């Protein structure tokens, strides 16, 4: 942790970074996002097992953007998010300082190649309960799976914590907020909830970096990440493209290659 | 108020006995790592050992969506259905904590402050509340700072206080409560005097609502809102788990042939909440929206309707994906903001 404090101090002192986006002590046993702007606050940064929230979500927040050059304390999922944001032309690697911590050593990932190499060395790891849920769902018949989602999604009250916690949900105007025409029913009834979550899953297909932030954020405990993870894995299987691994990769679902499968065209 | 005693065994019998056709009994039940109020299918599934349910019971009065009117063209005939004319089912809420019951009362008061809201009033009339005093609290609880307490009887028809050795001290507080006891009188025993305070969890009082209101009067331009809301991601989790948040949005859905007017929960944390058609947003930043949330609950609403918009249940703090903590924010306001 000391190395992190020292690095944060150096970055702020030299003026290379104006804000360090990291984790700090939260209420009770929790950690929370902190935005360190003063050298004296650098010791507030915390780094341990509890640091799970995907901080990349703050890179698009106007209040944070206004602060100037950010440095971000990056877990592997944050790095994957950054790579995907670069691939989607939302970010350039020199617009932020990506800090990774390995064996108490803090280093910077300074270019696209370094970011990609880091991701390659840190493959997606699901927490055991998520892994189990993925397997359980995969073993279900289509009817069982539909019933599972009917049951789970009926509990959604559309607080949009899934969307708000997701770094790849950066649309300034989300489809659920378009009302001319009204694509998605606003009411959180069965149909409205299906319309919303299936739309989101389709939009995240091939883009979800499988960080699980939406799962953690959901206040009623719907395992909503399973939808976007499956949509993304489908794209992996069909098009061989892995979200959050390549900075210069056109999105599978919005680009065309002659060797693409066209089995879906009747 | 009449008091009785009840054994745990008889309490379970009571729940079975009152769950008759036409009357739904809601009780706390575990699902994954969280507890929710849900209709009881099996009394063995009822959770007694929990601090707070993830969602509040406000859905029973003010559901997440409510059809107000609907219409359908059947040939040339237009059929219009006014949903206020369909009375809600009779319901019993069992196992709510005093903060939940206080909230149901305040929510009813809020929705009947001038012209009574038919939907809420009908649902409240059809609801009987059997609450359980708190013997467990956590660091996010702050009911005692919002004018309530772990043994508060407000809003409950019956309040049970665990008095040890599988027994409950029963306070029957209303006509509904009395009618329910009378319907199963043999299950209840005579009341033995207890030291109720000693049975309750201890929740330290950190501030008073009056003190907060006084500080907030001069806090509109304070830096505290910016600092605190930087980590807020702008979702509506806090508002939707809150037992007191009552903002809603009216939506028309369907087509010209068949449609409905629906009332849905809304949240001041959403940027769209105050977005004008022109594109102008009077609360453009998340800090404006976080300030509104706190101000509405602790300053505007008490001032306008003498109703505090919070019962200190702490659900918002537990639900927040970014660890926004309302209790901590209020303690900060009490300590840091200068009074006017």
* Residue B340 pLDDT exceeds 70: no
Band of residue A181 on the pLDDT scale cut at 50, 70, 90: confident
| Mean pLDDT value across residues B164-181 | 96
| Mean pLDDT value across residues A245-258 | 89
- Our CA dihedral for B43, B47, B48, B52, rounded to 10 degrees, sits at -140
Question: What is the rounded distance in angstroms from the CA atom of residue B315 to the CA atom of residue B61?
Answer: 18
> Is the minimum CB–CB distance between A35 and chain B shorter than 8 Å?
yes
> Is the minimum CB–CB distance between A215 and chain B shorter than 8 Å?
no
DSSP 8-class letter at A206: T
Element spanning A238, H or E: helix A225-239
pLDDT of B1? 86
Q: Are A27 and B34 in contact (CB < 8 Å)?
A: no
Q: Could you tell me the end-to-end alpha-carbon distance of chain A, in angstroms, rounded to an integer?
A: 57
Axis-axis angle for helices A128-138, A225-239 (nearest 10): 70
Residue B71: partners with Cβ closer than 8 Å, 6 or more residues away = B78, B79, B80, B81, B258, B259, B260
pLDDT of B339? 66
pLDDT of A266? 62
Q: Are A163 and B235 in contact (CB < 8 Å)?
A: yes
Question: What is the rounded distance in angstroms from the CA atom of residue B294 to the CA atom of residue B330?
Answer: 8
Q: How far is B265 from chain A (nearest CA, A)?
A: 8
* Residue B201 pLDDT exceeds 80: yes
In the block, tokens 């046993």 appear at A29
The domain segmentation of chain A, as residue ranges, is 2-121, 128-254
pLDDT of B95? 97
| Mean pLDDT value across residues A92-99 | 97
**Can the peptide bond before residue A181 be classed as cis, meaning omega within 30 degrees of 0?**
yes
Closest CA to A210 of A113, A83, A91: A83
Pairing of strands B90-96, B23-31: parallel
Residue A240 CA: distances (Å) to CA of A5, A233, A245, A249, B98: 40, 9, 12, 12, 55
Q: Are A33 and B264 in contact (CB < 8 Å)?
A: no
> Is the minimum CB–CB distance between A111 and chain B shorter than 8 Å?
no
Question: What is the rounded distance in angstroms from the CA atom of residue B251 to the CA atom of residue A187?
Answer: 8
Closest CA to B156 of B194, B198, B200, B104: B104
| Mean pLDDT value across residues B148-176 | 97
Closest CA to B285 of B297, B295, B296, B275: B275
Residue A151: partners with Cβ closer than 8 Å, 6 or more residues away = none
pLDDT of B11? 98
Q: Which of A161, A182, A224 to substitute to test the interface with B, most B CBs within 10 Å?
A: A161
Residue pair B58/B107 in contact by the 8 Å Cβ criterion: yes
Chain A partners within 8 Å of B264 (Cβ)? 158, 186-188
Q: Are B230 and A64 in contact (CB < 8 Å)?
A: yes
A219 vs B54, B229, B249: nearest CB: B54
Chain B partners within 8 Å of A213 (Cβ)? 321
HSE-up (13 A, CA, CB side) for residue B208:
3
The domain segmentation of chain B, as residue ranges, is 2-62+86-199, 209-336
pLDDT of A252? 86
Band of residue A194 on the pLDDT scale cut at 50, 70, 90: very high
Closest-CA residue of chain B to A182: B253
> Is the minimum CB–CB distance between B41 and chain A shorter than 8 Å?
no
> Is the minimum CB–CB distance between B250 and chain A shorter than 8 Å?
no
In the block, tokens 């440095």 appear at A71
* Residue A185 pLDDT exceeds 90: yes
pTM, whole model, 2 decimals?
Answer: 0.95
Chain B partners within 8 Å of A216 (Cβ)? 321
Supply the Cα-derived Rg of chain B in whole angstroms: 22
Supply the Cα-derived Rg of chain A in whole angstroms: 19
pLDDT of A8? 98
DSSP 8-class letter at A39: G
| Mean pLDDT value across residues B83-98 | 93
Q: What percent of chain B has pLDDT over 70?
A: 99
Q: Are A188 and B33 in contact (CB < 8 Å)?
A: no
User: How many interchain CB pairs under 8 A, A with B?
Assistant: 111
Residue pair B199/B169 in contact by the 8 Å Cβ criterion: yes
pLDDT of A262? 79
pLDDT of A105? 96
- Residues, chain A, total? 266
Residue B252: beta bridge partners?
B261
Chain A partners within 8 Å of B34 (Cβ)? 220-221
For chain A, counts of helices (H) and of strands (E): 10, 6
Chain B partners within 8 Å of A161 (Cβ)? 233, 235-237, 321
pLDDT of B178? 97
Element spanning A100, H or E: strand A97-102
Q: Are B264 and A158 in contact (CB < 8 Å)?
A: yes
Average pLDDT value over all residues in chain B: 95
Closest CA to B141 of B308, B310, B315: B315
Structure tokens at A148: 């599972």
B15-41, pLDDT tens digit by residue?
999 999 999 999 999 999 999 999 999
A220 vs B55, B270, B323: nearest CB: B55
Q: How far is A107 from chain B (nearest CA, A)?
A: 25
Structure tokens at A231: 């949509």
> Is the minimum CB–CB distance between A216 and chain B shorter than 8 Å?
yes
B230 vs A26, A35, A185: nearest CB: A35
Residue A136 CA: distances (Å) to CA of A115, A226, A235, B149: 33, 11, 20, 44
* Residue B253 pLDDT exceeds 90: yes
Question: What is the rounded distance in angstroms from the CA atom of residue B109 to the CA atom of residue B248?
Answer: 16
* Residue A33 pLDDT exceeds 80: yes
Band of residue A251 on the pLDDT scale cut at 50, 70, 90: confident
- A211 CB-contact burial (10 Å; exposed 0-12 / middle 13-18 / buried 19+): buried
pLDDT of A260? 81
Chain A partners within 8 Å of B233 (Cβ)? 57, 61, 161, 164-165, 217
> Is the minimum CB–CB distance between A188 and chain B shorter than 8 Å?
yes
3-state secondary structure chain B: CEEEEEEHHHHHHHHHHHCCCCEEEEEEEEECCEEEEEECCCHHHECCCCCCCCCCHHHHCCCCEEEEEEEEEECCEEEEEEHHHCCCCEEEEEEECHHHHHHHHHHHHHHCCCCCCHHHHHHHHCEEEEEECCCCCCCCCCHHHHCCCCCCCCCCCEEEEEEECCEEEEEECCHHHHHHHHHCHHHCEECCCCCHHHHCCCCCCCCCHHHHHHHHCCCCCCCHHHHHHCCCCCCCHHHHHCCCCCCEEEEEEECCCEEEEEEEECCCCCHHHHCCCCCCCCCCCHHHHHHHHHHHHHHHHHHHHCCCCCCCCCHHHHHCCCCCCHHHHHHHHHHHCCCC
Residue pair B105/B157 in contact by the 8 Å Cβ criterion: no
Element spanning A102, H or E: strand A97-102
User: Which segment of A140-144, A228-232, A252-256 scores lowest on mean pLDDT?
Assistant: A252-256
In the block, tokens 């069965």 appear at A190
- B279 CB-contact burial (10 Å; exposed 0-12 / middle 13-18 / buried 19+): exposed
Q: Are A221 and B34 in contact (CB < 8 Å)?
A: yes
Average pLDDT value over all residues in chain A: 95
Question: What is the rounded distance in angstroms from the CA atom of residue B76 to the CA atom of residue B9?
Answer: 59
* Residue B266 pLDDT exceeds 80: yes
Residue B49 CA: distances (Å) to CA of B29, B46, B52, B171: 10, 9, 9, 21
| Mean pLDDT value across residues A161-166 | 98
């Amino acid at each position: 942790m000391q190395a992190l404090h020292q690095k944060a101090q150096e970055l702020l002192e030299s003026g290379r970074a104006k804000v360090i986006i990291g984790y700090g002590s939260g209420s009770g046993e929790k950690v929370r996002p902190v935005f360190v702007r003063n050298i004296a606050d650098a010791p507030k940064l915390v780094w341990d097992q509890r640091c799970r929230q995907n901080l990349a979500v703050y890179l698009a927040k106007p209040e944070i953007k206004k602060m100037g050059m950010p440095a971000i304390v990056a877990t592997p999922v944050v790095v994957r998010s950054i790579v995907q944001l670069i691939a989607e032309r939302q970010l350039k690697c020199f617009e932020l300082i990506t800090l990774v911590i390995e064996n108490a050593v803090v280093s910077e990932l300074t270019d696209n190649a370094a970011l990609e190499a880091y991701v390659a060395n840190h493959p997606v790891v699901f927490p055991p309960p998520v892994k189990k849920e993925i397997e359980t769902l995969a073993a279900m018949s289509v009817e069982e799976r539909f019933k599972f989602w009917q049951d789970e999604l009926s509990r959604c009250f559309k607080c949009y914590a899934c969307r708000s916690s997701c770094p790849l949900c950066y649309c300034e105007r989300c489809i659920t907020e378009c009302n001319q025409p009204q694509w998605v029913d606003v009411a959180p009834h069965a149909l409205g909830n299906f319309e919303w979550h299936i739309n989101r899953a389709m939009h995240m297909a091939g883009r979800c970096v499988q960080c699980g932030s939406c799962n953690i954020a959901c206040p009623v405990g719907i395992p909503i990440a399973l939808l976007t993870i499956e949509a993304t894995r489908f794209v992996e299987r069909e098009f061989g493209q892995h979200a959050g691994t390549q900075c210069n990769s056109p999105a599978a679902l919005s680009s065309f290659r002659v060797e693409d499968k066209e089995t879906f065209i009747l | 108020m009449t008091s009785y005693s009840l054994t745990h065994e008889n309490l379970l019998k009571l729940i079975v006995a009152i769950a008759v056709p036409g009357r739904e009994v809601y009780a706390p039940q575990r699902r994954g790592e969280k507890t929710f109020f849900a209709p009881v299918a099996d009394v063995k599934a009822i959770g007694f050992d929990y601090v707070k349910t993830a969602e509040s019971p406000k859905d029973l009065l003010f559901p997440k969506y409510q059809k107000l009117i609907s219409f359908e063209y059947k040939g040339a005939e237009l059929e219009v259905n006014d949903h206020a004319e369909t009375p809600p089912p009779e319901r019993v809420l069992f196992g709510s904590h005093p903060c939940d019951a206080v909230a149901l009362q305040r929510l009813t008061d809020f929705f009947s402050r001038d012209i009574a809201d038919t939907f809420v009033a009908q649902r409240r009339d059809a609801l009987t509340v059997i609450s359980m005093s708190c013997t467990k609290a956590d660091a996010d609880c702050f009911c005692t700072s919002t004018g309530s307490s772990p043994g508060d009887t407000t809003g409950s028809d019956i309040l049970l206080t665990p008095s040890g050795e599988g027994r409950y001290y029963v306070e029957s507080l209303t006509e509904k409560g009395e009618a329910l006891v009378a319907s199963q009188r043999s299950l209840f025993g005579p009341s033995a005097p207890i030291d109720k305070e000693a049975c309750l969890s201890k929740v330290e009082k950190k501030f008073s609502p009056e003190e907060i209101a006084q500080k907030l009067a001069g806090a509109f331009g304070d830096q505290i809102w910016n600092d605190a809301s930087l980590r807020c991601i702008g979702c509506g989790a806090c508002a939707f788990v809150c037992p007191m948040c009552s903002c809603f949005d009216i939506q028309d859905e369907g087509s010209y042939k068949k449609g409905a007017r629906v009332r849905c929960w809304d949240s001041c944390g959403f940027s769209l909440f105050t977005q004008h058609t022109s594109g102008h947003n009077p609360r453009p930043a998340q800090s404006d929206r976080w300030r509104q949330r706190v101000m509405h609950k602790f300053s505007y609403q008490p001032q306008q309707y003498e109703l505090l918009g919070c019962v200190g249940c702490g659900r918002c703090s537990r639900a927040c994906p970014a660890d926004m903590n309302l209790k901590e924010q209020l303690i900060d306001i009490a300590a840091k903001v200068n009074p006017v």
